[in-house]
Structure 1
Amino acid sequence: MKVLVADDSKMARKMLIKIFSDCREGQEDEILQAQNGEEAVNLYKENTFDVVFLDLTMPIMDGFHALKLIKEFDSNAKVIVVSADIQQGSMSQVREDGAIDFVKKPISDVKMKQILEKIK
């Protein structure tokens, strides 16, 4: 599985990748990382990803804008928003803009397994 993890926090990226890898133990995965929305969009345009984990609050370009651009580029993109911003308006907006799911940070292994089932 080819995965993009976009978050401005290196620690948040490491934690998400560890949980993802633990849930996919024994599987061959390629995981790329982006530090902001602009990097995420550029990487998405250069690669084919099975899933994108996207934070909302990032410098240069936030996750809201990155999500819109990724979905414009590929309407079938599977984007999971993983954010500490749990305001109802934010959750509604990203679902409206095409995110498959909205997950509160930090993501649990139970939730990760549910997401992996959903995107199969």
Structure 2
Amino acid sequence: MKILIVDDTKLSRAMIIKRIPDNVKNSSKIFLGTNGREAVELYKEIKPDITFLDLTMPEMDGFKALEIIRAYDPDAQVYVVTADIQAKARERIIALGAKGIEKKPIDESRIVQILATIQ
């Protein structure tokens, strides 16, 4: 499995990685990005099985990155992991085609549930 994690903070990326079960980590390739532009570039380059994407990032935010990724691949499995859980943000994320919205910090049981839908 190829997993793409995009967040501008190193701690947030590390928290998601930490919550991925070891058996999945050991059999997967994990790719990291720090902004929306990198999310789009990496997505097109590696075609991940799943993407965990933050919203608030420099250069290009997660909304725009999600829009571009979904236009490029309508079947993209993108989960937004964010501290912004306001109703308007949630509506926009769903309208852009995210598979789900997870509040930071995402917990391990939720990561396991999400990954089970991909495997």
- TM-score relative to the length of structure 2: 0.94
Aligned pair 1:7/2:17, yes or no?
no
RMSD: 1.3
- Describe how 1:1-120 pairs up with structure 2 within 5 A: 1-22=1-22, 24=24, 27-120=26-119
Contact 1:23/1:109 (8 A) holds in 2: no
Aligned pair count reads 119
C-alpha distance in 2, partners of 1:106/1:4?
17
**Which residues of structure 1 form unaligned runs of 5+?**
none
Structure 1 stretches of 4+ moved >6 Å: none
Contact 1:23/1:113 (8 A) holds in 2: no
Contact 2:21/2:112 (8 A) holds in 1: no
C-alpha distance in 2, partners of 1:74/1:43?
13
Identity of aligned residues (%): 46
**Which residues of structure 2 form unaligned runs of 5+?**
none
Q: CA deviation at 1:5?
A: 0.3
